[in-house]
A and B are shown apart, each in its own frame.
Chain A
Amino acid sequence: MLLEIKDLHVNYGAIKAVKGISFYVDKGEIVTLIGANGAGKTTTLRTITGLERAANGTVHFKDKDITNIAPHRIVEMGITHVPEGRRIFTNLTVMENLKMAALLRKDPEGKKASYEEVFELFPRLKERRSQPSITLSGGEQQMLAVGRAIVTGGDLVVLDEPSMGLAPKIVDEIFEVIQRMNKEGKTILLNEQNAFMALSIANRAYVLETGNITIEGPASDLLTDPRVKEAYLGS
């Protein structure tokens, strides 16, 4: 087991956002958390990467307890977070954004290779490498956010709503890259509102509803599950 969450509780003041969820991610898997707005998906991911504090419960990564450790140390241990809403450095150019992501890497050769890898996956970014990233479209900004995760490295990549606010064509492109990253050996934990997209690439899935996991199982089963169909797939 690469990542294991046990009985996780997260509160914002008096509001309980996550009410005791447990799940795990195995090495090499794509696991997705799906659910409506306010279900606690983002909070769960932010707690895993140390941006929120868990009120109760534990997070284990590679058999080490990483509950409530500072975010920068979690990055060093190998979890890369692509936060919700992209969060690129809009003041910097595309290339500078990628260089920022390489901050922790000490191997100059590997750094260069990873820039090339990003540009190969997203030719659009290569065209715009010296452009200030504020001038990128939403889709290109998301590509850059994913590209940064590739440069940072890490064994587990945590993606928070990569499809948010994007055109369907771009969503396809990004999900293709996620699958490709997975084939190259990265484990993926994906948060999605676009349940159909997420379920069609994932191995396993969990459905979150107001802070609790209500349904779990292999993604292919969930795709045909009548409850999921009715609530999230709209058919």
Chain B
Amino acid sequence: MNWLRKNSEVIILPLIYVVIFLLQKNKILNNYVIQIIMLAGVNIIMTQSLNLVNGMTGQNSIGHAGFMAVGAYVSALFSKIIFNAAAMPPTMQTIFFLLATIAGGIGAAIFGFLIGMPTLRLKGDYLAIVTLGFGEVIRSIIRITPAVGAARGLTGIPKLASLFWIFVFVVITIYICRNYMDSAYGRGCLAIRDNEVAADTMGINTSKYKVQAFVTSAFIAGIAGSMYAHTLRYLHPDVFSYTKSTDFLVYLYAGGVGSISGSILGAFILTALPEVLRFMNEWRLVIYGGLLVIIILFRPVGMFGGKEFAFLKLKTGGIQHIGFSNLFQRKTKKTIVANEEASR
């Protein structure tokens, strides 16, 4: 019983899947809703990936859709053109789908390394500028490459992603991110985010930690890209524009930057919301924008800023209060003043 209480995720996560699965089987959720849930899953993976860089390491990547594009196109090429997975028996399809996904992840990670290596050695906002440029460059390159469909887009990608696989990858991503945060690497990243100079003087190899986190993040973004490609079966370069990158940033910051739970909820709610609001027709985006403004006004740290679901809490205890400082500062300004007066 005690073990179960400590590892409640073992029950909670399969339960969520079984509920969605049963609702789908009994036709309570139609394919349209399931598709939205799948896309929400993709967005959750993307937001997790962004959280590793923006939330944990304190760097700013504002062109993350670029990595997603690399992952999507590499995996689509892999399963459609190189291996023609559509013509295979189902078990082989699954294997090639997983291989294609990993290939997409590796492709994105290579780009992450090439970009991170020179820019993350610097201190400051250079990463933001470079990733912004990278996102647009990748999109432009895809637009002029006939092998991937150029500006017409890449069609006929086999539909290999299913609710089950997306769910599995979401869970794996959450686990990787949480354990990353809980490891020595993650603590190094948190130290860099909180104070890079202090991290340096503590003997942390800041460039190495930053590049590691960034490459991991790019890999996860590539995986999300593969899920996206094999869900929608059609890729167009303009989908991965700057607007897409901004979407992920909005999910992350509205959900609560630095919080894994926040990035899950932010991505899920904000993906589902525009669809839920569809009955309002043209007022839909107005309401959506208004809600975002309300969140920023009343909870500047995001919906889940500084909080985690119980089953996502770090097990070592240690550094739990992620994104905690902002929350705390407001409440304790008085305490700080009082303390300073006492020391005089």
Residues of B within 8 Å of A, CB-based: how many?
A: 32
Residues in B whose Cβ lies below 8 Å from that of A70: 205, 207
Query: How many A-B contacts at CB < 8 Å in the complex?
Result: 93
With an 8 A cutoff between CB atoms, is A76 at the interface? yes
Partner of B339, one of A96, A99, A136, A170: A136
When A89-B191, A96-B319 are in contact, do A75 and B324 touch as well, CB less than 8 Å?
A: no
Q: Do residues B198 and A87 form an inter-chain contact, with CB atoms below 8 A?
A: yes
Distance to closest chain A CB from B314 (angstroms): 12
Q: Is the CB of A88 within 8 A of B340?
A: no
Confirm or deny: A227 has a beta carbon within 8 angstroms of a beta carbon on chain B. Answer: no
Assess the B200–A51 pair: CB atoms within 8 A.
yes
Contact of B201 among A80, A138, A139, A167 (CB under 8 A): A80
Q: Is there an interface contact between A134 and B200, defined as CB atoms closer than 8 Å? A: no
**Chain A stretch 116-151: residues in CB contact (< 8 A) with chain B:** 132, 134-140, 148
| B7, CB-defined interface residue at 8 Å | no
* Cross-chain contact B198 with A88 (CB below 8 angstroms): yes
Residues of chain B with a CB closer than 8 A to A50's CB: 200
Query: Contacts A88-B195, A132-B321 known; A83 to B344 CB distance under 8 Å?
Result: no
Interface of chain A residues 83 through 106 with chain B (CB within 8 A): 83, 87-92, 96, 99-101, 103-104
Within 8 A of A (CB), among B302-344: 318-319, 321-322, 324-325, 328-329, 332, 335-336, 339-340, 342-344
CB proximity to A under 8 Å, residues B178-213: 187-188, 190-191, 194-195, 197-198, 200-207
**A15 CB to nearest B CB, Å:** 18
Is A87 in contact with B319, judged by CB distance below 8 angstroms? Answer: no
Enumerate chain A residues within 8 angstroms of B329, measured Cβ to Cβ: 134
| A135 close to B319 (CB less than 8 A) | no
Contact partners of B319 in chain A: CB under 8 A: 91-92, 96
Residue in B318, B335, B339 whose Cβ sees the most chain A Cβ within 10 Å: B339
**Which of the residues A104, A135, A139 comes within 8 Å of B336, measured between beta carbons?**
A135
**Residues A72 and B325 in contact in the complex (CB < 8 Å), given A51-B200, A134-B332, A137-B342:** no
A49 at interface, CB cutoff 8 A: yes
Query: How does the 8 Å CB contact mask read for A49-66 relative to B, with 1 for contact and 0 for none?
Result: 111000000000000000
**Which of A51, A103, A140 is in CB contact (< 8 Å) with B202?**
A103
Q: Which of A76, A104, A134, A148 has the most CB of B within 10 A?
A: A134
Given A135-B339, A167-B343, also A96-B332 (CB < 8 A): no
CB of B135, distance to nearest CB on chain A (Å): 30
Known contacts being A88-B195, A91-B325, is A152 close to B202, with CB within 8 Å? yes
Contacts of A140 in B (CB 8 A): 339, 343
Beta-carbon contact of A71 and B201 below 8 Å: yes
Bound: A92/B194 CA distance, A: 9
Interface set, chain B 2-22, CB cutoff 8 A to A? none
Residue with the highest number of chain B CB atoms closer than 10 Å, among A75, A87, A166 = A87
How far apart are the CA atoms of A7 and B203 in the complex, in Å? 27
Query: A88: shortest Cβ distance to chain B, in Å?
Result: 7
> Which of A83, A132, A137, A166 has the most C-beta atoms of chain B within 10 angstroms of its own C-beta?
A137
Sample of 12 more A-B contacts, CB < 8 Å, known A51-B200, A72-B206, A87-B197: A51-B197, A70-B207, A71-B200, A71-B206, A72-B204, A76-B203, A83-B197, A134-B325, A137-B343, A138-B343, A152-B202, A152-B203
Residues of chain A whose beta carbon lies under 8 Å from any beta carbon of chain B:
49-51, 70-72, 75-76, 80-83, 87-92, 96, 99-101, 103-104, 132, 134-140, 148, 152, 166-167, 170
Q: Can you name 30 A-B residue pairings with CB atoms under 8 Å?
A: A49-B200, A49-B201, A51-B197, A71-B201, A72-B204, A75-B202, A83-B197, A87-B195, A89-B194, A89-B195, A89-B198, A90-B195, A90-B325, A92-B194, A96-B318, A99-B318, A100-B187, A100-B191, A103-B202, A104-B202, A134-B325, A134-B329, A134-B336, A135-B336, A137-B342, A148-B202, A152-B203, A166-B343, A167-B344, A170-B343
